[in-house]
Amino acid sequence: MNLLDILLEPLQYEFMLRALSATAIAAIVCALLSCWLVLIGWSLMGDAVSHAVLPGVVIAYVIGAPFALGALVFGVVAVALIGIIRGTSRVKEDAAIGIVFTTLFALGLVLISVTPSQTDLNHILFGNVLGVSASDLVQIAVLAAVAFAVLLIKRRDLTLFAFDPIHTFAIGLSPRLLSGLLLGVLALTAVVALQVVGVVLVVAMLIIPGATAHLLTDRFGRMLVIAPSLSAVSSLVGIYLSYWVDASSGGLVVLVQGIVFAAVYLFSPRHGVIGRRIASRKPVAESVAGD
């Protein structure tokens, strides 16, 4: 069997076409967002919000509201609770995040267990990209488009906020508003990625691409291209692998991303552990202060 067959054979199935589209969409929008999350240091926040939206999604399902709305509400609730606990007690931020997201996630699990539906718990936890329906795909595409547009239009403000919130404030912009915007997009994106890799692994798609791209470039604009491209390619490779070896699709999507990160971590010319050593054999006159 040649490479072309490997690529084309799965495409004759409609469920595979939908799976590949959903995966590509989720990979791109998650990767875009991840560029800001990793630079601000919000990886744990990404983890928290992506778990905390679960009860929102379940409640939305029960009352027939859009999933995104439920996710957004619970994303906001989670962030607010974290802020309140940190601000009004001696509990530190990481502990506050841990308490809030696990509790909300647990609430989601309980709600699922008492909700009569066809939805399999495993699908929510680990994704069910091979079972994405046409209407699911439309919803994924719409949410992703909204998140994508917001990120692209406000990318300079978000980068400003990520780099220097004090300056952001000093020139009359609102760091609070911008962080709220980013967290709102995070909640939307979590819903998108949930269907592909499931709640447990969403955080991988929200962190790994940005971290990988940051090791490859010193330009934020390029990060915004590299992260989504790498993420889309590795995720599609993951889906193909899951087809051919008949293994967990969500698991393979994340596994491939992790392997790509490992390769970049080792061999990136400027910031890779081994790549840097190879590069430093050549004289570099301009490196005044590395990082």
Partner 1 sequence: MTATPGIAVDGVSVRYGDIVALDDVRLTVAPGRVTALIGMNGSGKSTLFKTITGMVRPAAGTVAVDGRPPAAARRRGVVGYVPQSEDVDWSFPVSVRDVVMMGRYGHLGITRRPRPADHRAVDEALARVELDDLADRQIGRLSGGQRKRAFVARGIAQDARVLLLDEPFAGVDKRSEATIVRLLRELAADGRTILVSTHDLHALPSLADEAVLLLRRVVFHGSVAEALRPDLLARAFGLDPGHPRSTTAPEGEA
Site of interaction with partner 1 (CB under 8 A): 39, 153-157, 159-160, 162-164, 166-167, 169-173, 214, 217-220, 222-223, 286-291
Minimum distance between the CB of residue 216 and partner 1, rounded to whole angstroms?
Answer: 10
User: Which CB sits closer to partner 1, 85 or 237?
Assistant: 85
Alpha carbons 93 and 83: distance in angstroms, whole number: 8
Minimum distance between the CB of residue 264 and partner 1, rounded to whole angstroms?
Answer: 14
Minimum distance between the CB of residue 178 and partner 1, rounded to whole angstroms?
Answer: 11
In the chain, helix, strand, coil percent, each to 5? 80, 0, 20
Work out the burial of residue 154: count CB atoms within 10 Å of its CB; fewer than 13 is exposed, 13-18 middle, 19 or more buried. middle
Q: Rounded to whole angstroms, what are the CA distances from 275 to 239, 267, 269, 289?
A: 29, 4, 5, 18
Alpha carbons 123 and 58: distance in angstroms, whole number: 13
Minimum distance between the CB of residue 127 and partner 1, rounded to whole angstroms?
Answer: 31
CB 128 within 8 A of CB 138: no
What does the block give as tokens for 262? 């490992």
Minimum distance between the CB of residue 42 and partner 1, rounded to whole angstroms?
Answer: 13
CB 197 within 8 A of CB 253: yes
User: Which CB sits closer to partner 1, 160 or 233?
Assistant: 160
Minimum distance between the CB of residue 158 and partner 1, rounded to whole angstroms?
Answer: 10
Alpha carbons 79 and 158: distance in angstroms, whole number: 18
DSSP letter for each residue of 183-212: HHHHHHHHHHHHHHH-HHHHHHHHHHHHHH
User: Which CB sits closer to partner 1, 104 or 216?
Assistant: 216
User: Which CB sits closer to partner 1, 63 or 171?
Assistant: 171
User: Which CB sits closer to partner 1, 17 or 39?
Assistant: 39
User: Which CB sits closer to partner 1, 66 or 175?
Assistant: 175
